[in-house]
Amino acid sequence: MARLVWITGASTGIGHATALAYARDGWTVAASARDATALATMAAGSAGRIHAFPLDVTDEPATLATHAAIEQALGQIDLAIFSAGTHLPVRLEPFETRAFRKLVEVNLMGVVYCLGAVLPAMTRRRGGQIAIVSSVAGYFGMPTAAAYSATKSALISLAQSLKFDCDRYGIALSVINPGFVRTPLTDKNEFPMPFLISAEEAAKRIVDGLAAKRFEITFPRRFALILKLIRLLPYGLFFPLVARGTRIEKP
């Protein structure tokens, strides 16, 4: 019997590529995103492997209802990958607080609502697997990413904190921290993106990492290591280095 994976943010980018990868590997895929048309198109070309369940993850009742609908239609969810997310740049002129509210609702609370949907059943059966897609931007505050880095850092801390209890209940929990991956979101970036990889390569690394049940799945590894070393620097070195590397200029 095919195993079942639920993937949010599945209409584009990493979520889309990961859904296709699992379908190719013989899994049944429950694909969620706001774009119902994109989901239907993907499902139509999947030979019955991918099933569309449109969802706005910022709607908690809808998230609970979607989870129930998936399990009623397809059975027990073995793996849940929460990759829905977005990015809005933050600058001082103008300083827009709406960016923070938007990204907290989508990137952070969207994951929290999804966790609230899957954890009760996994806790009862003392098994299952969950992956939270964060970012290397959560390692430290990136220029123009005050809202994005804050939410991605929160997801890393969330995963670290929950892992203690998940281990006790036999639930495998992972956090996925991609570097720069070519997606519609990164296509909007106006700064250098070192070690840029395709969404398909990112999906392969996610599938492999989750099969090995690694807690942190990060890629490209060399880039992630560089960032982890940078965050250890004293601030007198940290700020000039990051500003120079990202070509931040004075107004």
Reported as half-sphere exposure (CB side, CA atoms, 13 A), residue 171 has a value of: 24
* Nearest residue to 227 (alpha-carbon basis) of 162, 148, 136: 136
Please say if 148 is a catalytic residue. yes
In terms of C-beta density within 10 A (0-12 exposed, 13-18 middle, 19 or more buried), how is residue 238 classed? middle
Task: Write down the catalytic residue from 46, 152, 153, 174.
Answer: 152
Q: Where are the beta strands (DSSP E) in the chain?
A: 4-8, 28-32, 50-52, 79-82, 128-133, 171-178, 181-182, 197-198, 216-219
Amino acid at 36: A
134 carries an active-site annotation: yes
Structure tokens, 168: 């006790």
Catalytic residue among 22, 113, 139, 148: 148
Q: What is the CA radius of gyration of the chain?
A: 18
Cα–Cα dist 23/5, whole Å: 9
Contact by Cβ (8 Å): 215, 174: yes
Place of tokens 């964060």: 134
Q: Considering 83, 134, 135, 153, which one is annotated as catalytic?
A: 134
Does residue 174 contact residue 210 with C-beta atoms inside 8 Å? yes
DSSP per residue, 15-39: HHHHHHHHHHTT-EEEEE-S-HHHH
Residues designated as active site: 134, 148, 152
